[in-house]
Structure 1
């Protein structure tokens, strides 16, 4: 039970890397379809004459992409577990704290910036939607035709890979269940994925972009929290590494 099964750990690393890759590439994998016909129909119901309309495409949304802010923490954690297979514990102990500190600071900055950007975009969305009829029409042209089906398929694949990641980690080392931080991280990312799918199904199609951005906003906040957890958790490791280095570097007295 105590032996680490390396092949399963490497497969878990691959699974969570695929998760992050799919989420980061969600803007390319979803959206982009022609929504001009749907926009003309909506304009007709609003009693607005559009005239000649250029290409109107389906938005990709932010929700799935910003799930990566959370899942990159899972990737980082799994990567550290995997690193222990090739790097001696003595060296890893000295490097891990500093590396985690740098990673957490970068994640904190990125998550905070995306939090602000998403909040501003969400505010614009709601303001335009409520400013009928022309504001509503502008909202529809930009965000009104979210590709719910494509996003649902992608989220389903992401959720499957996350479950596979968790299962492979347990196969690699059942004692990972005793790691409360890892268990909480796994529950967080699974819950966020399910919540995003729920938000996509909660409202009529023309409002899904708003709930998707709302989910993205929540994910950015969650990522900020996890970044702070990593940052605080890295400090004891750094202090320990500094003390160990100072102790080993002292000249021995004859």
Structure 2
């Protein structure tokens, strides 16, 4: 592929690492604020009487955190590129297949577990919201006001870092554009980020938590697909490494 421009590649690794860090910390960076007044206003606009809303706090949501599942693939892929800077092609070929196999299995397991959790929570949300009036009141108390503004700022920063990551990869090696899998991964994570922001803006604020969970479900499924791609792709590398080892012996 030609010589890599090491500084740009390392900066790309830093950028995608920051993305994963922000997404992992999204539950701490958003939500938890006082939402009583805003919830009361939104509920009245929809003709719902929520009574006393003192002590109600904003839920942090799952969507941004679940983006981590996809962006871990981006971090892993970029890390493998950086690994070529310190390991010979022969050693990297032996290590990469097994390491990718282990990573893909862990990703699949984590995505499946989180998929079930998001599905159960979404089922509870919808069931409570439709169980008028007491179920609806319980839903409003737990998920009635989503921190759309805070989430939007965080997603904007994440999206910017992802664009920087993609640009730095291109600067590091223009021929990365010929890597269809990498291009598809970049597009996948960018589209998912934009889709989540769209979902947050699509409905009244008291319903955003439901669509945020829908987004989380979709991201878990997308991560499962990428996990399978990595799993299948690691097998030829392992077979090749085994054959080379057997030949040397």
Larger radius of gyration: 1
Match of 1:93 in 2: 93
Contact 1:3 1:173 (C-alpha < 8 Å) held by counterparts: yes
**Do residues 245 (structure 1) and 245 (structure 2) align?**
yes
Structure 1 segment 56-205 matched on structure 2, within 5 A? 56-205=56-205
Gaps of 5+ in 2: none
TM-score by length of 2: 0.95
Contact 1:32 1:59 (C-alpha < 8 Å) held by counterparts: yes
| Cα distance per residue 1:91-120 (max 9 Å; x no partner) | 110010000000000000000000011011
CA distance, structure 1, for counterparts of residue 63 and residue 149 of structure 2: 14
Q: Which one is further off, 35-44 or 73-82?
A: 35-44
| Cα distance per residue 1:150-182 (max 9 Å; x no partner) | 000000000000000000000000010000000
**How many aligned positions are there?**
247
Gaps of 5+ in 1: 250-254
CA distance, structure 1, for counterparts of residue 155 and residue 43 of structure 2: 31
Contact 2:40 2:50 (C-alpha < 8 Å) held by counterparts: no
Contact 2:43 2:206 (C-alpha < 8 Å) held by counterparts: no
| Cα distance per residue 1:190-223 (max 9 Å; x no partner) | 0000000000011111100011000000000000
TM-align CA RMSD: 1.5
Match of 2:215 in 1: 215
CA distance, structure 2, for counterparts of residue 43 and residue 215 of structure 1: 23
Change (3 A) 1:210 1:8: same
- Residue 248 of structure 1 deviates from its aligned partner by 0.6
Contact 1:43 1:49 (C-alpha < 8 Å) held by counterparts: no
CA distance, structure 2, for counterparts of residue 118 and residue 212 of structure 1: 10
TM-score by length of 1: 0.94
